[in-house]
Amino acid sequence: MQSAGSAFASKHAEAIFVTGHDPSVLAPKIANIRKLAKEGGRDPASIKFFCTLTPIIGRTDEEAQEKLAEAKKYVSTVGGLVLFSGWTGIDISKLPFGKEITKEDSLEAHKVTSALNAFTTTSKNIPKWTPEVVSEVASIGGLGPVSIGSASVVTDELERWITEADVDGFNLGYVTTPGTFEDVVDLLVPELRRRGIYPETAQGGLTAREKIYGIGKPHLRDDHVGSTYKYDVYTEDVPYVGEDKPQDME
């Protein structure tokens, strides 16, 4: 059965925020949406996917691990479990430790399909989802992966997700503020620029769409369904004319 969300996204979306703990989890979902877009007459590459990812960056790998250890002193595993229950519709307090979490545990699976899939789809990194695993994962990074290490290590991880999952960019989360984003600016961005995958200077005056598709492309692409409603191509329906009302009977 085709996901209603995927079908809608393949027709209407220009940018999609996605999440998954491993590239192998996201790759088939992204591939399916691109496939549906192509079948609908769109360039599949015109849909841009942005993956959630939380970086913990240090000047060295050891420093990054120290930051992780410090953060773990303050995280709330109970809070992570509460978030999980809210995201998925599963009352995790009723599940025993060690019990594998499945879609059948949710009474609202039809309403929270994407979040539920994120916590029930396994991989080599997480072969089994249990309350203990959820408490660890959700406490830092939420639904998405956490990348820990020097700027070089985190950049390698970003590039791996681009290659293996076919994502186009990232929606970066934070562990502390101030803290995480300052490390992104001071440590990660210079490494991205060194590799030639981040602009040297920010260019102002661009629309959000131009930042995604390129300078001089501020409007919907011609292959997007929304373009059929532009003034120069849209054909209005013939005005509705109701039937004559019957004359009042004398």
Q: Which of 34, 39, 42 is nearest to 220 (CA)?
A: 42
**Calpha distance 64→57 (Å, rounded):** 5
pLDDT confidence of residue 29? 93
Residue 45: count of CB within 10 angstroms of its CB: 11
- Separation CA 54–CA 170 (nearest Å): 9
Q: How many CB atoms lie within 10 A of CB 136?
A: 16
Q: What does residue 86 show for φ and ψ, rounded to 5 degrees?
A: -65, -40
CA distance 19 to 9: 15
Mean pLDDT by 10 residues, the chain (250 residues): 82 94 93 97 97 97 97 87 85 89 75 73 86 87 90 98 97 94 98 92 85 90 92 83 62
pLDDT score at 2: 58
Domain boundaries, the chain: 1-57+144-225, 76-139
Residue-level pLDDT at 248: 56
Long-range contacts of 198-206 (CB under 8 A, 24+ apart): none
Report the predicted TM-score, pTM, of the whole model to 2 decimal places: 0.84
Q: Nearest 5°: phi and psi at 217?
A: -125, 65
